[in-house]
């Protein structure tokens, strides 16, 4: 024992600065400190939102969800910081966020909330990803407006008069349309020039992916432009500018947390706590199964209980929610906590606390879904994909009684089998994420497409669901629509698939079509690769 104690003391004496800093940070990054920091930063976000009360508040997934109460959020968006990293700039057609642009056009702008824990004032998603997105959309809209004007000028006088009273009048200000890149002042000039040099390439990519730019051009009367607000920003409350007077549609980017790399000590009326910048980031490492919705539902109890009771209160809240969902047949996984050693448009119908948004089967597949889609506090939404008779949702929605669904394709094996279903109307496929099993989706897609084909021939309405409703179910829908539907989004049992080549561009167009309706879609790159591999295999097996 003495030898072991002396060896441990020797290790303590030789501990590196890195290990010592990690140990100190681990002790400070408690659950209570994280929740208290989130609540403190959320108060700042609420103050900024109150300056422009008519602008909708939008959370950038996933971190932004922690910094606003669910009832105050108008929508969510998904911009990744990796698309704005230096040398890795990208415009993603899998994350177009067109619903955000339409929402901003309808309401005169929007406020997006996000945060980062890396000591920066703004995450790269706000510093570069969203500015790139704004510029690419502006550039594509400018091209569309100029084409409309040129086409109207080439018509005969009678038709020209008709067009000039329509689109040409709407687009009369195209010459003054701002399509330049607006980046924050701290971005280096070399990086700014590199981004500007790729805007035309990204605009071509955006136009080629099949997005409905015409609806965007009609919905946005002023070009998009980002503005940045952090806790270091000074705003004179008696001189808050009126956003309606600006010559652009503002995308106000609010970084919730204070910048700084070191946690600071703060005191409340009863407890002292350590402030953690960007505490809402990487929730798996600290939240212990707590979600933003559960946090804001029980925020007063959690914060008033203090640091000594916080962990137990969170465990009780998460377990009660798990039991509540399990009793109703919803997805309810057991939360496993790793202990840290001392040395994480349509019609609205209401069912309890949940809101089901069912988008009607529009006769015009090219019509974009309205931007004012409402979300429930739990985010439970059913998205109809055009006129395809296919809807996507999370498995948590299955138990809420979808009377208008004829069949269910469940891609989450952890959910319970509905008691009133048969083999013809229910199929459960144990599909897991590509990070857990590389070819899980690829192996199950043939059964999924076969099940869909049989039910779509019978004109049944089908629900595709996975645990999140944002990744695997979207990829399964992409495989089905590419394999069984033609270019206009009509079911043809796969006849057009036999006549066309399968390219990544064709698959990208169909993904954009799906994301036009399922605005929460976040398909991973690994799962999209499996869909492409499946479609190529299907093409090879067809008779020449």
Which of the four pLDDT bands, split at 50, 70 and 90, describes residue 107? very high
Q: Which of 533, 532, 521 is nearest to 464 (CA)?
A: 521
CB 432 within 8 A of CB 524: no
- Compute the distance between CA of residue 100 and CA of residue 30 in angstroms, rounded to an integer: 35
- Compute the distance between CA of residue 132 and CA of residue 111 in angstroms, rounded to an integer: 17
pLDDT exceeds cutoff 60 at 156 = no
For 454, left (φ over 0), alpha (ψ -120 to 50), or beta? alpha
Q: What is the mean pLDDT of residues 334-359?
A: 33
- pLDDT on residue 20: 65
pLDDT exceeds cutoff 50 at 376 = no
Which residues, in sequence order, are CB contacts of 521 under 8 Å at separation 6+?
94, 392, 470, 471, 474, 511, 514, 515
Residue that wins the pLDDT comparison between 401 and 444: 444
Tell me the percentage of the chain whose pLDDT exceeds 90.
47
- Which domains, from first to last, does the chain contain? 23-150+178-255 (no CATH), 383-541 (3.90.190.10)
Q: What is the mean pLDDT of residues 79-90?
A: 91
- Compute the distance between CA of residue 271 and CA of residue 319 in angstroms, rounded to an integer: 26
Peptide bond into 62 cis (omega under 30): yes
Which residues, in sequence order, are CB contacts of 201 under 8 Å at separation 6+?
none
- pLDDT on residue 359: 32
Decide: helix, strand or coil at residue 183.
coil
- pLDDT on residue 349: 30
- pLDDT on residue 397: 61
Q: What is the mean pLDDT of residues 393-417?
A: 71
Residue that wins the pLDDT comparison between 300 and 351: 300
Which single residue is written with the structure tokens 């495989």?
479
pLDDT exceeds cutoff 70 at 346 = no
- pLDDT on residue 395: 80
pLDDT digits (tens, 9 = 90+) for 428-474: 888 888 777 888 999 999 999 999 999 999 999 999 988 888 899 99
- Which of 16-30, 44-58, 237-251, 437-451 bottoms out in mean pLDDT, i.e. has the lowest? 16-30
- Which of 75-79, 85-89, 540-544 bottoms out in mean pLDDT, i.e. has the lowest? 540-544
- Which of 250-259, 318-327, 497-506 bottoms out in mean pLDDT, i.e. has the lowest? 318-327
Q: Phi and psi for 400 in degrees, rounded to 5?
A: -90, 10
pLDDT exceeds cutoff 70 at 331 = no
Which residues, in sequence order, are CB contacts of 79 under 8 Å at separation 6+?
60, 95, 97, 114, 125, 126, 129, 130, 133
CB 62 within 8 A of CB 283: yes
Which single residue is written with the structure tokens 């177009």?
96
- pLDDT on residue 239: 86
Q: Which residues pair with 253 in a beta bridge?
A: 112, 228
- pLDDT on residue 418: 58
Half-sphere exposure of 455 (CA within 13 A, CB side): 26
Give the DSSP H or E segment for 57: strand 57-60
What tokens appear for 304 in the block? Answer: 């008033």
Supply the pTM of this predicted model: 0.79
- Compute the distance between CA of residue 482 and CA of residue 466 in angstroms, rounded to an integer: 19
pLDDT digits (tens, 9 = 90+) for 165-198: 444 445 545 568 999 999 999 999 999 999 999 9
Which residues, in sequence order, are CB contacts of 99 under 8 Å at separation 6+?
75, 77, 369, 371, 373, 519
How much is the mean pLDDT over the chain? Answer: 80
Q: What is the mean pLDDT of residues 18-25?
A: 63
Neighbours of 176 (CB within 10 A): 8
Q: Which of 403, 420, 386, 409 is nearest to 465 (CA)?
A: 409
Q: What is the mean pLDDT of residues 86-115?
A: 93
CB 421 within 8 A of CB 437: no
- pLDDT on residue 543: 75
- pLDDT on residue 128: 95
What tokens appear for 442 in the block? Answer: 């690829």
- Which of 15-24, 98-107, 150-159 bottoms out in mean pLDDT, i.e. has the lowest? 150-159
Distances in whole angstroms, Cα of residue 101 to Cα of each of 134, 212, 311? 9, 12, 40
Distances in whole angstroms, Cα of residue 62 to Cα of each of 39, 68, 74, 292? 16, 12, 15, 10
Q: What is the mean pLDDT of residues 492-506?
A: 88
What tokens appear for 91 in the block? Answer: 């415009």
- pLDDT on residue 355: 27
């Amino acid at each position: 024992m003495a030898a072991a104690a002396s060896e441990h003391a020797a290790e303590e004496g030789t501990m590196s600065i890195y290990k010592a800093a990690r140990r100190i940070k681990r002790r400070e990054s408690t659950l209570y400190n994280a929740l208290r920091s989130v609540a403190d930063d959320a108060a700042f976000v609420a103050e900024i939102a109150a300056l422009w009360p008519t602008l909708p508040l939008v959370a950038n997934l996933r971190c932004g969800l922690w910094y606003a109460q669910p009832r105050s959020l108008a929508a969510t968006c998904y911009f990744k910081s990796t698309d704005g990293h230096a040398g890795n700039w990208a415009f993603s057609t899998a994350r177009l966020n067109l619903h955000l642009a339409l929402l901003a056009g309808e309401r005169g702008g929007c406020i997006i909330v996000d945060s980062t824990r890396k000591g920066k004032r703004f995450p790269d998603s706000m510093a570069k990803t969203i500015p790139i997105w704004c510029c690419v959309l502006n550039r594509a809209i400018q091209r569309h407006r100029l084409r409309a004007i040129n086409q109207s000028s080439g018509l005969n006088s009678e038709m020209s008069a008709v067009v000039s009273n329509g689109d040409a009048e709407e687009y009369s200000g195209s010459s003054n349309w701002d399509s330049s890149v607006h980046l924050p002042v701290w971005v280096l000039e070399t990086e700014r020039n590199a981004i500007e040099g790729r805007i035309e390439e990204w605009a071509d990519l955006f136009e080629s992916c099949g997005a409905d730019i015409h609806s965007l051009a009609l919905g946005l009367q002023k070009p998009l432009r980002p503005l940045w607000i952090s806790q270091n920003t000074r705003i004179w409350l008696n001189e808050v500018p009126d956003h309606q007077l600006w010559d652009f549609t503002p995308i106000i980017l609010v970084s919730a947390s204070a910048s700084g790399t070191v946690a600071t000590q703060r005191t409340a009326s009863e407890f002292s706590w350590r402030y953690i910048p960007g505490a809402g980031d990487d929730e798996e490492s600290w939240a212990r199964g707590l979600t933003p919705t559960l946090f804001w539902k029980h925020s007063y109890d959690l914060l008033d209980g203090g640091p000594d009771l916080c962990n137990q209160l969170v465990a009780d809240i998460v377990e009660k929610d798990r039991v509540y969902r399990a009793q109703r047949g919803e997805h309810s996984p057991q939360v496993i906590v790793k202990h840290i050693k001392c040395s994480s448009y349509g019609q609205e119908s209401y069912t309890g606390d949940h809101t089901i948004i069912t988008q009607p089967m529009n006769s015009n597949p090219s019509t974009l879904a309205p931007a004012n889609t409402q979300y429930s506090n739990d985010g439970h939404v059913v998205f109809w994909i055009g006129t395809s008779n296919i809807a996507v949702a999370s498995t948590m929605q299955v138990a809420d009684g979808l009377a208008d669904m004829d069949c269910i394709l469940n891609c989450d094996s952890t959910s319970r089998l509905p008691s009133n279903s048969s083999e013809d109307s229910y199929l459960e496929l144990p599909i897991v994420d590509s990070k857990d099993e590389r070819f899980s989706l690829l192996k199950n897609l043939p059964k999924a497409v076969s099940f869909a084909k049989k039910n779509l021939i019978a004109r049944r309405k089908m629900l595709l669901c996975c645990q999140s409703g944002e990744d695997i179910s979207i990829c399964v829908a992409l495989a089905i629509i590419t394999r069984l539907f033609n270019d206009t989004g009509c079911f043809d049992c796969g006849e057009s698939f036999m006549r066309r080549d399968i390219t990544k561009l064709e698959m990208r167009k169909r993904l954009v079509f799906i994301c036009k309706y399922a605005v929460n879609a976040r398909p991973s790159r690994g799962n999209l690769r499996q869909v492409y591999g499946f479609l190529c295999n299907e093409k090879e097996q067809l008779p020449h």
